[in-house]
Amino acid sequence: MPPTTESAPSELLITCLCAQWCGTCTEYHPLFTSLQAEFADARFLWVDVEDEADLVDPIEVENFPTILIEQGGSARFFGTVMPHLETLRRLIQSSAAVDARPVQDTDVQALAQRLRGR
């Protein structure tokens, strides 16, 4: 079977939803990407909510940084976080746990599926 460029469904997908004009996002971006080395089996995405409004709609992201974590076809976390490395690290670990519960919002689940397809 030939290799695929799409991510495996069980792969952890960590997405930061930010805006280019946001100073907090600018400072957070290097911290966010630094975790890629620690979570090598995860895929990290940085999405500008204004540049990619069609992708994000109908969700209104009003606070930054907002994180969406998806695994196994289901969003496990969606919300604004404090822009600290340790906060995101713990959030990734808890979202990847076997007993992590899915997000109940259908719009967030739909966004997670659109992001998975990128």
Coil, strand or helix at 14: strand
In a domain, 1, yes or no: no
For the chain, residues with pLDDT lower than 70 are 1-9
Q: In what order do the strands lie in the sheet with 43-48?
A: 43-48, 13-18, 66-71, 74-80
In a domain, 8, yes or no: no
Instruction: Report the C-alpha gap between 71 and 76 in whole angstroms.
Output: 7
Instruction: Report the C-alpha gap between 70 and 82 in whole angstroms.
Output: 19
Least Cα distance to 42 among 5, 71, 68, 63 occurs for: 71
Residue span of the structural domain in which 21 resides = 13-116
In a domain, 2, yes or no: no
In a domain, 67, yes or no: yes
Instruction: Output the 3-class SS for 52-86.
Output: CHHHHCCCCCCCCCEEEEEECCEEEEEEECCCCHH
Instruction: Report the C-alpha gap between 84 and 62 in whole angstroms.
Output: 19
pLDDT at residue 118 in the model:
86
In a domain, 5, yes or no: no
In a domain, 54, yes or no: yes
In a domain, 33, yes or no: yes
Domain count, the chain: 1
In a domain, 47, yes or no: yes
- pTM for this prediction: 0.89
pLDDT at residue 10 in the model:
77
> Which amino acid, one-letter code, is at 7?
S
CATH classification at residue 85: 3.40.30.10
